[in-house]
Each structure stands twice: as C-alpha cells, then as structure tokens.
Structure 1
Amino acid sequence: MKINCIAVDDEPFALSLISSYVEKTPFLNLVAAYSNGVEGLKSIHENPAIQLIFLDIRMADLSGIELARIVEQTGRKKHLRIVFTTAYDQYALEGFKVDALDYLLKPFNFVDFSRAATKAYDYFTMLENSMNTAPAVLPPSTPQKKYLYLKVDYQLQKVDTSEILYIEGLKDYVKLYLKGEEKPLLTLTSLKSLEEKLNAPAFLRIHRSYIVGVEHIRSLTKNSVQIGQTTIPVTEQYKEGFAELLKNWL
C-alpha cells in the first residue's frame, strides 16, 4: 500500500528535508510540496487522492491549525490525516484538539519521521481493512468483539469494549477505566461521542459524567452502582434507563 501525501512548510530547508524523508520511505508517495498553506489547501480540494499531510503550524498566510480546521469541515477527516511539524512545542495541545495523527518537533531526524510515518501506515492499513471486511464473515452464532480506536498520547489505540469497566467524562476529555489496568486511558473526545459508538445493551449512561459497563457492575442500589471499589451515583436524568436494569436484576 502506498500513501499519497503532500508536504506544506514555508521554510525552504524544512520543506526540502521533509520531502527527502518522504522519498526515502517506501510506503509514502510524495504528490507535491508547497511553501504556503493556501497552495496546500488548494491542492487538497483539487486532489481527493491525498491521504496524508506533513504540515507546518506557523505559516504567514494560513497556519497549519487553521488549515486543519478547514479539513475537518470537508467531510474527508477519516481519509485525510495530518502530521504536524513545528519548532514550537506549545502548539501540541492545539494539534491534539484537531485530531492530528502525530506531532513532530523540529529539529527531527529520519528515525522520528519514520515513527510518525509508521503510525500513518498502521492507521490507513486498519482503515482499508475495515472497509474491505464484510460484516457477515463470521456465522451469526459466533460473537464478534467490538473495538474502539482512540487517540491516546498521539497514538491510535485499539480498545476491546468488553474490557471497559466505566467511562468518566471531563470537560474536553474522557477517562476509560479498563479491566486489569491501574491507570485509565485519557483521550480527547466527548462522553456523548463515545456513547454513540458503544453497544447500548452493554453500556449504560447513569450520570452526566459516567457511562458504565453493565457486565462489570458488582452490586447496585436504587441510586448507585458498584464497579470494583468505585461507587458511581445515578442521577435523576438517567433514572428511566437505570430502572430497567434494576428491574432485570430483581
């Protein structure tokens, strides 16, 4: 598989270096290199085959963050990913918010670049496999595992949903508490977004800030559930769905 990519950077040396790194990487195909964000954006609109952008953040005419936000609105986000390249580490959080695939801090070497390129290869391989796999490959009687693919520390991580004990929503992030793991996974998304991706019978929203894995509930009362050593309250807004669960237990 070849990944079609472009490089966008207003520093000639940096643009030349990135282009040379791309050309040294067997699974990358350099479509073009641009010295400003406007030309890069035009190329993205005109060429639907572009899959990956190595993108500088600080540029005079159109910044990398602004370009990334425009890409988010095009509907191509799933098939067009970004690796930011910048000399300023204070932009890391901004890059995370626009769901960058990776973040290369200048000056970076070919090893650093290869690591980011491999993330891109893994992502597009996974995407291609998911599009080519027919849902009826397994017989109906065979249970199929469900996975979430979440951005954790600039890596795409595969999470088996059956291992999720409960999920806690924060302001811009969520914490996923997993079976057998001491520390939760932290990812930049909303609780509502995750709720839409999870199987409704297996997970239940019981609080503005919590979704619980039903099979991991150890005990419950009329107003709370116990998962491991954690007690999670049930709020009035979600009592109706919880009442059905309580009824099944009784």
Structure 2
Amino acid sequence: MNKLRCIAIDDEPFALEILADDIAKVPFLELVGTFSSPLDAVSTLQNEAVDLLFLDIQMPTLTGMQFLRTLDRPPMVILTTAFEQYALEGYELSVVDYLLKPIPFDRFLKAVTKALSLYQLRHAAVPGHPEVAAPAETAEAPTGPTTDHFFIFTEYREVKIYFSEVLYVEGLKDYVKIFTTQQSLPFLSRLSLKAVESRLPARDFCRVHRSFIVALNKITSFQRTRLFIGKQEIPVGSNYYDEFSLRYRA
C-alpha cells in the first residue's frame, strides 16, 4: 500500500519531535520533512509529492492560517494548535481535522485515519479499470420523493443510507463526508454538498454553513455561531442563521 507522504510545520522543536515520533508509529505514514517555519517548507511543497501537511497555527512572521491561504493547491491539512478558538476558521479552509495540543496518540491516529480514507476516495478507480475514475455524482439516479433513503457510491460499492440515520454532512470541495448512526467513521463520496442536499428531504434537513448540512432532529443545542449534535460542534454561518433559527424553532 502507498504511504501518505507527510511534512510537519511547527515553530516549537519539541512539538515537531512529538509529531515525528507519532508519524513513525503509523505504518501508512511517511515523514518527508519537518520545518520550524512555513516559508522553509515552500520548496518541498512545490518540488516534492506531499499528501498530508501537519500545520501549527500560532507561529511568528506567518501564521498557519495565513500560510494555508497562500497555497493554490494545498495537500490535505491537519491543524495542530494549543488554541481552541481557531476551529471554526479551520472548517472554512476544509481541513481534514483539528488537533488540540497536547495531542493524545489515539486522537492523532483517528485524524490520520480520516486523511487516509479521504486519500483513498480521491484516488479510487473502478476495480479492473485503472484508467477509469469512480462514478461521478451525475451517474447516480436521483432519489424519488417517496423514498426513505438514498444511495451513494463509496469504496467501490453502492451504499444505502436512510434519512433517519444521517446526523450531518460535511462538504470538502468535490467530496462529502456523511456522518450517520450506522458507523463511527463517516461515509466518503465523490459528490458535491449541493447534490447531497437535493437528495435529502427539506423538511428534515437544513444547510447551516457553506460546508455543513444537519439533521434538524439530531441537534442537541445551538448558539448564534455554532450548534451541537451530541458532542460534535458544527459552525453556523451568518448567511444561514436566520433561516436555520426559524426552521429549528418551528
């Protein structure tokens, strides 16, 4: 199996040592390099294949967020920081995960497993036809108005997902992560968030952010800028708040 080629950027030498040690423990990760400044990593990102970037946020001269916004085609990114307040901004930049220091290894492993799943989805091909991409969203039949489920193509197979099992959906550019009660990990599929939204019954689901759709009956609490489904925090965009607030209270 191909390994995910990783680099780590952090201005704290001890933090880099811990990341390097954790990466070495995971069989599907390969550490390409560590850097104490984002500017030092530019050449490697431009000239080498990098699949996954571990990026600290609070750094002098150029923060991790500022650096990430300068990249035209960034690799998958896992943010690492001691400051919780940057989580919502991380969602805006479609990062794979957001890790709070000190990072327990089990939490690190969960994050990189998510990255591996996304990598496999992006590089998936139909078995026996290596030159043919997995079916795009237009190849799937639309869901009829009287059904209680829809289908997605994921991991070389069609999966039936019942509306009642969907917790929320997160959009990642050309892919979505569908979180359900079926399993602990999300289903990954090559669909746009708009395509998934068109398959879900509007009475039960609401777009609350440009990157999130939630099941209204699964929400446990909400504030002006965020809501919770169990312990999972989901941002609420200012452009979506009014409609969401009305529908949730209805």
Please give the range of the TM-score, normalised by the shorter of the 2 chains.
0.5 to 0.7
CA-to-aligned-CA distance 1:100-134 (integer Å, 9 cap, x gap)? 10011000121111111111111101111158573
Q: 1:133 to 1:59 in 2, by over 3 A?
A: same
2:125–2:134 CA contact under 8 A, matched in 1: no
Q: Any runs of at least 4 consecutive aligned residues in structure 1 with deviations exceeding 2 A, and if so which? A: 130-137, 141-153, 155-163, 166-177, 181-190
Aligned to 2:10: 9
Aligned to 2:32: 31
For 2:109 and 2:83, locate their aligned partners in 1 and report how far apart those are by CA, in whole Å: 20
Q: 1:173 to 1:8 in 2, by over 3 A?
A: closer
Matched, 1:106 2:104: no
CA-to-aligned-CA distance 1:159-182 (integer Å, 9 cap, x gap)? 7948511364456555355xxx83
For 2:186 and 2:61, locate their aligned partners in 1 and report how far apart those are by CA, in whole Å: 31
Structure number, greater radius of gyration: 1
Aligned to 1:125: 120
1:182 match: secondary structure: helix
Aligned pair count reads: 180
| Aligned-CA RMSD value | 3.7
For 2:117 and 2:24, locate their aligned partners in 1 and report how far apart those are by CA, in whole Å: 18
Give the TM-score normalised by the residue count of structure 2. Answer: 0.59
In the alignment, residue 63 of structure 2 is paired with which amino acid?
Answer: S
Structure 1: unaligned runs, 5 residues or longer:
191-208, 211-229, 231-250
Q: How does 1:1-250 map to 2 (within 5 A)?
A: 1-47=2-48, 49-71=49-71, 74=72, 76-77=73-74, 80-130=75-125, 132=130, 134=132, 145-146=151-152, 149-150=175-176, 157-158=187-188, 161=196, 163-166=199-202, 168-170=206-208, 172=210, 174-177=212-215, 182-183=217-218
For 1:116 and 1:7, locate their aligned partners in 2 and report how far apart those are by CA, in whole Å: 14
1:91 match: secondary structure: helix
For 2:70 and 2:132, locate their aligned partners in 1 and report how far apart those are by CA, in whole Å: 32
Which of 143-152 and 117-126 deviates more?
Answer: 143-152
1:81–1:100 CA contact under 8 A, matched in 2: yes
For 1:9 and 1:64, locate their aligned partners in 2 and report how far apart those are by CA, in whole Å: 9
2:9–2:54 CA contact under 8 A, matched in 1: yes
Q: 1:66 to 1:42 in 2, by over 3 A?
A: farther
For 1:171 and 1:122, locate their aligned partners in 2 and report how far apart those are by CA, in whole Å: 23
1:8–1:56 CA contact under 8 A, matched in 2: yes
In the alignment, residue 175 of structure 1 is paired with which amino acid?
Answer: I
